[in-house]
Structure 1
């Protein structure tokens, strides 16, 4: 496959390079009803790494009862080479124990900006979640692991509606204060718009949190993910969560549809002259292959546009 690339028109104020934090194997697959075989997951990860994704979040050590799709986390990590930058999600100390036993040294925790989602997702109040995370982060750091934090429902909550900017900032600050190296701001149900993104990032800056501690995690429920990513780029954000082929959703928020597609993000960044290090041909081929494994077409616009000449089982 030979990709037709967009013409490059670079705005000097944009970052020269960004990091794509690939969440397809974890966030992308966690909501799939049919269990994806572990060898398929392992090949998915290997293909993503071969396409140049610098960070690939492999799995989650949540209890198998809550996310059956990821019950094979230990087995998966015996197959893939996770000595590089291959984080896993851990919900609590037990999840951390499992991750450390598997040799993982990059972990992530996931909090909520709202009371209702904290109760539904973590079985804790908004305030109690931070007490739950504190020993997990402390132990991880003591064991030489680094810890990333996600905060969900930053732009809206399906039960509570609009979320106050200051509430999001307070949530994020408390997670960073535990010792997390980066905070990923999640538009879990995809209701954010570009102006909202700018306002939230400004609020974090005003609270003393610089852009280099922040990442963004957009869902494309209302078709706003790319516009929101562009707003974050103009603000100076240099880490973007994305999922190959636009796979994903949240098992605890049914209105959360697919993540920002990695291919769509790479296409936009190429046109803006922002480097990612990602081989778009290889990435599209990977998503075409995974779509074949899942038995349905990819929701990514770029995969649909470029993937017609790729055989689902091809390289």
Structure 2
């Protein structure tokens, strides 16, 4: 199989944690319901390929995201692999109840840097959503759970346009103050560029949110996801969200196309000499397998390039 030549760049982390979102964010917008046994096998294949953080599902109300209505069934069937973390998304106290009942050890909440998206996604203002998250985070932390905060629309909003950096920093700081262990900065509609990424991370650092508390979550709508990832790594971030095969989007923002493909990310990191622990060949086979079940070609450039070699 073709591999990139390893030529390290100075100033990058020696290793990167890939936060795999394919089973949750990647599949949530599929119009045809994916059978739960396919989802379980997908997660198992991702773990076997070396991914150590796999966001398994979400405890949202089934009417919001019908694709994830099988969350309990999926987690009941899932046999955790040693050393693999399986966080789940929870929107509220009821979602946390469901997660705790199944022994989940890590959750994520999903906030917004803009008012319009908060209202469309959570039916609340930014302030109201943070008030809703407060008891969820406190109860999760008191139960010994790790908590991640997603912050969407950090680089642009389809309704509000440009999002001021200071506005993002303000909401991010409030999520950290709630008790989130990590904050994932979302370029929900893929309009960010590397300079913007660097500036936001610097501003967050100045506000007391260091790069080691951050992750980045880029969409490739305008082909900027890998460039933005490199800028984030150069700024000190070492956790990157990605979706196997480039699956996903956002059901509440129609201009949000696919996530950064995990294979494309691994190819770049392999070339940079940054360790991920991921077997690219096994990962490509997994995405080809899932593409067959979805009935379409993977949008990942690396998957397409290596399809005949694995």
Q: Distance in 1 between matches of 2:287 and 2:2?
A: 17
Report the equivalent of 1:96. Answer: 96
> TM-score, length-normalised on structure 1?
0.96
Report the equivalent of 2:209. Answer: 209
Report the equivalent of 1:129. Answer: 129
Q: Distance in 1 between matches of 2:86 and 2:131?
A: 26
> TM-score, length-normalised on structure 2?
0.98
Written as runs of structure 1 = structure 2, the 5 A alignment for 1:68-107 is 68-82=66-80, 84-107=84-107
| Cα-to-partner distance string for 1:162-211 (whole Å, 9 max, x where unaligned) | 00101101111111111110000000000000111011111101111111
- 1:308 is paired with a residue whose SS is coil
Report the equivalent of 1:28. Answer: 26
Report the equivalent of 1:158. Answer: 158
Written as runs of structure 1 = structure 2, the 5 A alignment for 1:9-28 is 9-28=7-26
Aligned partners of 1:158 and 1:255 also within 8 Å: yes
Report the equivalent of 2:115. Answer: 115
Report the equivalent of 1:46. Answer: 44
Q: How many residues align?
A: 308
Report the equivalent of 1:281. Answer: 281
Gaps of 5+ in 1: 311-315
Residues 10 and 309 of structure 1: CA distance in aligned 2, closer, same or farther (over 3 Å)? closer
Q: Distance in 1 between matches of 2:284 and 2:212?
A: 29
Q: Distance in 2 between matches of 1:52 and 1:251?
A: 29
Aligned partners of 1:137 and 1:147 also within 8 Å: yes
Q: Distance in 1 between matches of 2:132 and 2:158?
A: 24
Q: Distance in 2 between matches of 1:42 and 1:206?
A: 42
Q: Distance in 2 between matches of 1:189 and 1:257?
A: 7
Gaps of 5+ in 2: none
Q: Distance in 1 between matches of 2:35 and 2:65?
A: 15
| Cα-to-partner distance string for 1:43-72 (whole Å, 9 max, x where unaligned) | 000000000001000000000000000000
- 2:108 is paired with a residue whose SS is strand
Q: Distance in 2 between matches of 1:137 and 1:151?
A: 15
Q: Distance in 1 between matches of 2:174 and 2:116?
A: 18
Deviation for aligned residue 1:82: 4.1
Deviation for aligned residue 1:143: 1.3
Q: Distance in 2 between matches of 1:167 and 1:205?
A: 14
Moved over 4 A (4+): none
| Cα-to-partner distance string for 1:132-157 (whole Å, 9 max, x where unaligned) | 00000011111111110000000000
Report the equivalent of 2:229. Answer: 229
Written as runs of structure 1 = structure 2, the 5 A alignment for 1:129-278 is 129-278=129-278
Deviation for aligned residue 1:81: 2.4
Q: Distance in 2 between matches of 1:241 and 1:18?
A: 10
C-alpha RMSD of the superposition: 0.9
Aligned partners of 1:82 and 1:104 also within 8 Å: no
Quick check: 81-90 or 188-197, which moved more? 81-90
Deviation for aligned residue 1:309: 4.2
